[in-house]
Structure 1
Amino acid sequence: MSTEQWVPTTAHWGAYQATSDGDGGVRVRPHPDDPAPSPLLGNVPGIARHDTRVLRPAVRRGWLLGGPGPSAQRGRDEFVEVDWDTALDLVAAQLDRVRNESGNEAIYGGSYGWSSAGRFHHAQSQLHRFLNTIGGYTASRNNYSFGTSQVLLPHVVGSAAAVLGYADSWATVREHADLIVAFGGLPTKNLSVSPGGVSRHTSAAAAADPGVAVASISPLADDVPAGGRWYSIEPGTDVAMQLALAHVLLTEDLHDTEFLSRCCTGFDVFAAYLLGSSDGVPKTPEWAAEICGIAAADIRELARRMPTGRTLVTVTWSLQRTRGGEQPVWAGIALAAMLGQIGLPGGGFGHGYGSMAEVGADGPVLHLPTLPQGSNPVSSFIPVARIADMLLDPGAEFDYNGQRLTYPDIRLVHWAGGNPFHHHQDLTRLRRAFARPETVVVHETHWTATARHADVVLPATTTLEREDLGAGRRDTHLTAMHRVLDPVGEARDDYAILAGLAERLGVRQRFTEGRGARGWLEHLYEKWRAPLVQQGHDLPDFDIFWRLGEVKLPAMPEDPPLVRFRRDPERERLHTPSGRIELFSETVDSFGYEDCPGHPVWLPQERRAPLHLIANQPPTRLHGQGDVGAVSRDSKVAGREPITLHPDDAAARGITDGTVVRVFNDRGACLAGARLSDRVRPGVAVLPTGAWFDPQPDPRRPGQDLCAHGNPNVLTEDIGSSRLSQGCAGQRTHVDVEPATEPLPEVAVRTPPPLRRG
């Protein structure tokens, strides 16, 4: 390919153009119409041919010699490189053996997928389609990003999509809102990213200066947009402040009784709780101030301001990724309901502004080209964040959304397109869990910790090495993702890998339907295009689309569900038992969960170490993707992930800027590089997620490991947000920090594990 032939593609951090540099590398430039290109684009050139690429199929030596079985050597053993036929024969044989001996329930189709923004080469969809052709698999439900809300929202407003899928655009908010009350702030660093890509970063451009008064309630000043007011709150106490704001609205008769009567149910129960009638504790601003660290006068002033104009109450996804994560979401809805503005443009309740680019985007709510996965005959599943529980304790019972379920006995894990050693909690425990299955198969582009903990590693191509269709939710364009580079080493795309397995298991035709990858792209595009053309939309055929490089998605005017509901709550009933917004849910209350009762409540939590640690999303990469790229590498301190401390907390511990520190609690420890800033609340430390997990012997704890690179999930607790949702609770934990002492272990994840040729 000519070095001057720039072609279109897209990624989770946005559409861009790329070209080969003629030496096997790549050059990139932003989409010419993008008003706020993502800085993450700078990671792309260094990734494709990084030393950590998986170049050939590889089998863990102990598994290859001793056969399948539980093994604590996963993550410690060397690998033997083999040819593709050998690798596929081994994997197919184990899939066949496990399903015949134990049933398909014993296969876990992990694949929590962020591997590609493409609609066809979406590893999770590919793997699930394949496993369904051979009889199914144990599945996961919900996600790590907002899995708690996915379970709660149907009980409160009838569906998760009513809130998550129909957020007002930033343009609408700027036009109509007078005030945004943002619990968790509005961290614009996250607005680079969407699962299917962002054609134009309009949300990032608008959110950086929303043109509306903002009350940003967060322990981090960087979560406050330009011109906003920072309410520096104690982490994990947002619910107390929300309840106090609601108490002021109630006791000063500032609430909208007509809306509450017409559109809600259960307000009487919630009001009794606010007043203290039900528990003896009035939720006054003075009560909240002792908990959250915001002055009572400031809480009262904000509460009185909120009903004077159009107010948007929004809660970031981060606040529901904690113990009791249902509560700030439910309390935020209750607060917005008391203002009576739910369903009005620019007002009401928002969830996820500042969490991802799609929230506040102005594209249509539109079905996109999607690879059909078929149906899964296996009924067993887990909430996605309960994987370690499942692997460690098969047969144990657990609660989930009113059900009492049992963990299946997993003998084979097949993972493609995800990295649980990035997004899961208590990684020491996860390592023990990954030691239990008989076989772990991983498709990976690089030698991540997940690949290093596998038995069979199948090298996958990156986005740059294949063709696809790209578009994100609420995006404005569909992108033709052209191939830029030849596959590195012997890498194959997931479709080719799974087609090879399907052939060995006698289901190739069913899996492929006789199409190659390009044939599927044309098929999916034309199947998506046909009904839109019938509706009168002008969309080019596949060949023209591919030549143009993108197509603008047609506008699909539609009133969001909560707008229709507000207009006519009797005819547009919500899918709740009452048909209304449920500020008290008899259904949830009937479950008897002490960690999620039938209405929003304050659930105090024990502080188990001196510092609050916030494990937020990094500004320099997407999760763990791009950690070997230039932008991420340049952010490191002494080669390790930076941890931000308040200068007072650092001084009390003898820590200066640039010091390598040991971050620890009763679960584990990691090394990080100190950065000092008064833009974090005292008593708070910030260590972003995504540094590639690098377990090394801990000099302070003989016989135990620490992460030499700075992955905070060695510190976070592996526990569900509640018995209702069992969502991820990894956003916050408690730690202490001290200067690290020599000798310090070297960071080892920038080179492959020990490899030998078979």
Structure 2
Amino acid sequence: MKSHNQEKTYIKGLGWCGFGIGSNSAEVDVKDGKIVRIRPFRFDKEYKPEEMKPWKLKARGKVFEPTMKSLLPPFSMVYKKRVYSPNRIPYPLKRVDWDPDGERNPQNRGLSQFERISWDEAAELIAKELKRVQSTYGPCSVLAQADGHGETKSVHGPHGCQTALLELLGGYTIQARNPDSWEGWYWGAKHVWGQDPVGQGTQTNLWKDISDHTNLLLFWGCDPETTPWGWSGQQASRLSYWFTEIGIKSIYICPDVNYGAAVHADKWIPVKPNTDAAMQLAIAYTWITEGTYDQAYIATHAHGFDQFADYVLGKEDGIPKTPKWAAEICGVPSRTIKALAREWAAQATTIAHCNGGSYIRSTYASEPGRLEVCLLAMQGLGKPGRNQLKMIEWGLFSMENQVPHPRSEVIPNTGGAYQGWFFTLPKQFIPKTLIPTAILSDEPITWYGTTLAGFPREDQFIKYQYPAPDGGSEIHMIWTDTPCWTTCWTGGNKMIQALRSPKVECVVAQHPWMENDCLFADIILPINTKLEEEDISVDMFSGQFNHIFYEGQCVEPVGESKSDYEAVCEVAKRLGLYEQYTKGKSIADWIKAGFEQSGVADRLSYEEFRKKEYYIVPTADGWEDDPAGFAPFNEDPEGNPLQTPTGKLEFYSMGLAEYFPHDQERPPVPHWIPFGETHQESLLHPKSAKYPFLIISNHPRWRVHANLDDVTWLREIPTCKVKGPDGYLYEPVWIHPLDAKPLGIQDGDIVRIFNDRGSVLGGAYVTERIMPGVIYQDHGARLDPIVAGKMDRGGANNLICPSETTSKNCSGEVTSGFLIGVEKVDIEEIKAQHPASFAREYHPDAGLIIDSWIKGGK
């Protein structure tokens, strides 16, 4: 163990939502065993610029190049506050009224307090429950929630450290991660242009292509000043400034003046949530009727355009999709739609996204996802300056075609050190969006597709079932290392109901902080943050330099916390499987294995790597000559076919026509679908008389999904929280003055947003940055139940999202664009009705703290 009694600096990759992908590389200064500062990492500490071969983009008389330090976002700068948060779980806990040998009281999950137990007792309890449940019901009766939205670590997980142990026990059920940031691409765009794994376009060398050729950028539902912070740092912001500097015009199409639009937009086009498809169809109508689309390109590169044109022109249903028709639906004046269509057709245009924004995570999101590709195709997809750009997650899945910036010689990967779960499905799995439905159903459920982002388009036509017909079983135990389902996925209140089901006899959660799903656990294991662990990581998301680095242990573990890997090791010991689980390797051995399999081991020795503590992969020679985006397909569609049945851009999907010919919610030709069998979340539906507003819920400005909501420095920012009259810091609710006035709502008032699935509170932020008829509230706020499953004080609006999936044959999430009502409330009246819920200890900066949930506190 290291001595920390003198000042020392460590390298850490402060990224989220992946494994071993540090992105936001930082230097952590430690003195007297405490973190004193987190600052950008210097790339040139051990390497000279000529060794790194920095890339340079030269365009229009200007130069864009990497900096010599990492582009840290605020999230990384403030992370020491997360390490020392009063919400840290200091020791193992057991729910006070959960008795494994008696009454388990599942109905009290989320109500009961916890009591301190030892690691020995916790590990013994978990091992005993695993053996009992699996021997009684079968191996598949244990659900591993082992994916997404955690710290990026390699050896230590999270994202599935428990799965290898469960495999040794004979099997388990996996929660299959849905492509939550890419739903419309995954379920829709794939059927137009293929593009596995996630359905977004080929990114190769697009920074150069845009810089050289693009004249107009459409940021559709995109906020490059917020969304990339958790993955790619500040590079997307820097890139946006560069595009403006070289004269590229930026148009933002979204219901809100998000932070990117406020800084970079030359024009903002506000569009109502869930109506992008109508606007897209009107653009297509303008091009078809005015003859301004690339007819020669369509003739050689597309399939089924005539069927698409028939629908656009109204020959199919008698409704021409004119700008006037669309304007009444989407709120964008017909003159603006026509002007946009004409400007787009007149010059090289690229569409930019940060995973797609809220419109790609809403009801029937497959349709705007498909229609966007159709519009790109109509203007010659792959011609110079005409592509689709991702503003974050460069290097996704270590795929070369997902890298829009100048290519490095190698994309390093620390998968050899990773101890979590990969894309190898066990006998039984359930899509993440269907977990509560599966638990609460008394009958088998079925769906199409594994829903895993890495699976091919054809997988969406395979029908699956829970319980699995070949030896599957119902779930009776849950083991989660990512306990944020309720506040990050679709229909959180239904998940609370599922967690309280008597079918679920034991819930184990391991996590650093007492928050969200932890409140509904029976046993909680305290987990380290990455600053308390020794590990190895890579940066392939920053767009600066790809690099691999050794992560030293900065500080001693807080309390009795252990890493995810070490926590599972404790259970493995009680099961007699420790040697098999660890494969006889120490953590140091796993770190070395990660380096040896990283792709850079032939470039320097492990000893040199440990001495320097990082390695910068040089920029590849000749990167300027790499074909950009869809250029190969544009130049030779026969020689470079797409991953579709015809090899072409399918305006009429052959796969959907073959497998789902009668699906009115995802027909072979993309349609405008305001509501249908699965959803009625539309202002055109009678339901809107009761719930007259549409809510958008984006990636949060001051969090990464559900992470960081207790960081005091962030909570002091007025746009992070609204201080209510009672002193509580509420999640902001943006509302337009024209909507606020008749409701009697003013800045700082406490409001309730609600629908038939429940309600959450928030603090009013009256602003013209949101269009009338639309409410904005970030997703991912920490749970603070007033009545768990019905009313929440923390502003976790995922609780009241639809529990239904994207559409009947698409098991994606719907976390934005649904109907709500809004009203001003008197918090004192609510307190009087629910006194027990307001008796918990409250810290004005960090929110509710762990003492509130532990019997006796402190």
Aligned residue for 2:38, secondary structure, equals: strand
CA deviations 1:174-221 (Å, max 9, x no partner) are: 332111123214442112121xxx4x6322211245221122111112
State percent identity of aligned pairs.
Answer: 26
d(CA) in 2 for partners of 1:182, 1:754: 43
Q: Could you tell me whether the CA contact under 8 Å between 1:425 and 1:713 is conserved in 2?
A: yes
3-state SS of 1:613 partner: strand
**In structure 2, what is the equivalent of residue 656 of structure 1?**
746
Q: Is this contact kept in 2: 1:11–1:117, CA < 8 A?
A: yes
Q: Letter of the aligned partner of 1:122 in structure 2?
A: G
Match of 2:166 in 1: 131
User: SS of 1:190's equivalent?
Assistant: coil
Are 1:388 and 2:388 matched, yes or no?
A: no
> What residue is the counterpart of 2:679 in the other structure?
none
Q: What is the count of residue pairs matched by the alignment?
A: 741
- Distance in 2 (CA, whole Å) between partners of 1:11 and 1:685 is 32
Deviations 1:144-195 (A, max 9, x none): 222443343443322334635636544542332111123214442112121x
| Bigger mean CA deviation after superposition, 163-172 or 331-340 | 163-172
Structure 1 counterpart of 2:466, one-letter code: Y
Q: 2:229 aligns with which of 185, 188, 192?
A: 192
Q: Confirm or deny: 8 A CA contact 2:412 2:548 kept in the other structure.
A: no
Report if the CA contact (8 A) 1:192-1:357 is conserved: no
Q: Given the two structures, how large is their TM-score scaled by the length of structure 1?
A: 0.91
Please report how far the alpha carbon of residue 617 of structure 1 lies from its aligned counterpart in structure 2 after TM superposition.
Answer: 1.5
The match for 1:333 is 373
Equivalences for residues 545-556 of structure 1 within 5 A:
545-555=609-619
Q: In structure 2, do the counterparts of structure 1 residues 546 and 459 end up closer, same or farther at CA, with 3 Å as the change threshold?
A: same
In the alignment, residue 256 of structure 1 is paired with which amino acid?
D
Q: Contact conserved, 1:68 with 1:439, CA < 8 A, in 2?
A: no
- Write the deviation string for residues 541-568 of structure 1: whole angstroms up to 9, x where unpaired: 3333233333223546565774433333
Pair 312,411 (structure 1): closer, same or farther in 2 beyond 3 Å: same
Cα drift, residue 488 of structure 1 = 0.7
Once residues 218 and 116 of structure 1 are traced to their aligned partners in structure 2, the CA distance between those partners, rounded to angstroms, is 30
Of the three residues 383, 388, 396, the one matched with 1:349 is 388
**Matched residue type, 1:659:** D
Verify the 8 A CA contact 1:108 1:410 in the aligned structure 2. yes
Residue in 1 that maps onto 2:795: 710
Letter of the 1:390 counterpart: A
CA distance in 2 between counterparts of 1:630 and 1:208 reads: 30
Q: Which amino acid aligns with 2:550?
A: A
Instruction: Work out whether residues 53 and 445 of structure 1, in 8 Å CA contact, stay in contact via their aligned partners in 2.
Output: yes
Provide the residue aligned with 1:11 in structure 2.
14
The Cα offsets for residues 677-719 of structure 1, whole Å up to 9 and x where unpaired, read as 1111112221111221111149xxxxx7421121112322111
Other structure's SS at 1:121 match:
coil
- Residues 393, 554 of structure 1: CA spacing in aligned structure 2 closer, same or farther, 3 A cutoff? farther
Residue identity matched to 1:542: Y
Worse-matched range after superposition: 566-575 or 620-629: 566-575
Aligned match for 1:498, one of 568, 584, 594: 568
**Quick one: which of 619, 623, 640 aligns to 2:701?**
619
Residue 201 of structure 1 is matched in structure 2 by 234
- Map Cα deviations across residues 399-450 of structure 1 (whole Å, 9 max, x no partner): 3233443333211111113411220233222111111211111111010121
Letter in 2 for 1:253: G
Q: 1:131 to 1:582 in 2, by over 3 A?
A: farther
2:479 is equivalent to residue 469 of structure 1: no
CA distance in 1: counterparts of 2:636 and 2:394, whole angstroms: 31
- Partner of 1:431 in structure 2? 496
Letter in 2 for 1:552: I
Other-structure match for 1:727: 812
Match of 1:410 among 470, 475, 480: 475
**Cα distance in structure 2, aligned partners of 1:418 and 1:208:** 37
Q: Which amino acid aligns with 1:513?
A: K
User: Structure 1 residues 155 and 382 mapped into 2: Cα distance closer, same or farther (>3 Å)?
Assistant: farther
RMSD (Å), alpha carbons:
2.7
Structure 1 residue aligned with 2:186, among 142, 150, 159?
A: 150
Partner of 1:599: 669
**Which is worse superposed, 272-281 or 57-66?**
57-66
Q: Deviations over 1:436-484 (max 9, x none)?
A: 2111111110101211111111111101100222235444222332221
Distance 1:446 1:164, change over 3 A: farther
Residue 329 of structure 2 is aligned to residue 291 of structure 1: yes
User: Within 5 Å, which residues of 2 pair with 1:391-540?
Assistant: 391-393=439-441, 395-400=443-448, 401-408=460-467, 409-436=474-501, 437-475=504-542, 476-529=546-599, 533=602, 539-540=603-604
Partner amino acid for 1:329?
Answer: G
Give the Cα–Cα distance (whole angstroms) in 1 for the partners of residues 304 and 553 of structure 2. Answer: 55
Distance 1:276 1:74 in 2: 54
Deviation at residue 621 of structure 1 after TM alignment:
1.6
- d(CA) in 2 for partners of 1:382 and 1:167? 34
Change (3 A) 1:189 1:19: same
144-153 or 116-125, which moves further after superposition?
144-153
Secondary structure at 2:756 match in 1:
coil
Query: 1:736 Cα deviation (Å)?
Result: 2.3
Letter of the aligned partner of 1:570 in structure 2? E
Deviates more, 1:575-584 or 1:156-165: 156-165
The 8 Å contact of residues 363 and 474 in structure 1, kept in 2 or not, is answered as: no
Distance change >3 Å, CA 757–CA 363, structure 1 → 2: farther
Contact 2:487 2:799 in 1 (8 A): no
Deviates more, 1:372-381 or 1:647-656: 372-381
Q: Which amino acid aligns with 1:443?
A: Q
Where do residues 4-43 of structure 1 align in structure 2 (5 Å cutoff)? Answer: 4-12=7-15, 14-22=24-32, 24-32=34-42, 33-34=68-69, 36-43=71-78
Of 274, 281, 286, the residue aligned with 2:312 is 274
Q: Helix, strand or coil: the match of 1:618? A: coil
1:231 aligned to 264, 269, 286, which one?
269
SS state at 1:72 partner? helix
Does the C-alpha gap of structure 1 residues 207 and 357 become closer, same or farther in structure 2, counting only changes over 3 Å? Answer: farther
Q: Return closer, same or farther for 1:344/1:186 CA change in 2, 3 Å cut-off.
A: farther
For the Cα contact (< 8 Å) 1:42–1:630, is it kept in 2?
Answer: no
What is the letter of the counterpart of residue 138 of structure 1? T
Report the CA distance shift for 1:227/1:575 in structure 2 as closer, same or farther (over 3 A).
Answer: closer
Q: In structure 2, do the counterparts of structure 1 residues 383 and 362 end up closer, same or farther at CA, with 3 Å as the change threshold?
A: farther
Stretches of structure 1 that go unaligned for 5 or more consecutive residues are 534-538, 699-703
My pick for the range that moved more, 356-365 or 244-253, is 356-365
Verify the 8 A CA contact 1:219 1:233 in the aligned structure 2.
yes
- Mapped contact 2:633–2:641 kept (Cα < 8 A): yes
Q: Does 1:249 align with 2:269?
A: no
What is residue 452 of structure 2 aligned with on the other side? none
1:218 aligns with 2:254: yes
Partners of 1:275 and 1:281 within 8 A in 2: yes
Q: Identify the residue that residue 755 of structure 1 maps to in structure 2.
A: 854
> 1:240 offset after TM fit, Å?
0.7
Residue aligned with 1:545, SS:
helix
- Segments of structure 2 that go 5 or more residues without pairing to the other structure are 17-23, 43-67, 397-401, 449-459, 468-473, 676-681, 724-728, 832-837
Shift of 1:603: 0.4
Q: Secondary structure at the match of 1:291?
A: helix
Change (3 A) 1:432 1:334: same
After alignment, is 421-430 or 727-736 more displaced? Answer: 421-430
SS in 2 for 1:622: coil
Please say if residues 510 and 524 of structure 2, whose CA atoms lie closer than 8 Å, have aligned partners that are also in contact: yes
Q: Give the superposition deviation at 1:377.
A: 6.8
- Structure 1 window deviating more from structure 2 (302-311 vs 438-447): it is 302-311
What is the letter of the counterpart of residue 407 of structure 1?
Answer: Y
Letter in 2 for 1:368: N
SS class of match (1:577): coil
Partner of 1:674: 764
CA drift of 1:627 comes to: 0.8
Which is further off, 49-58 or 744-753? 744-753
Amino acid at match of 1:572: N
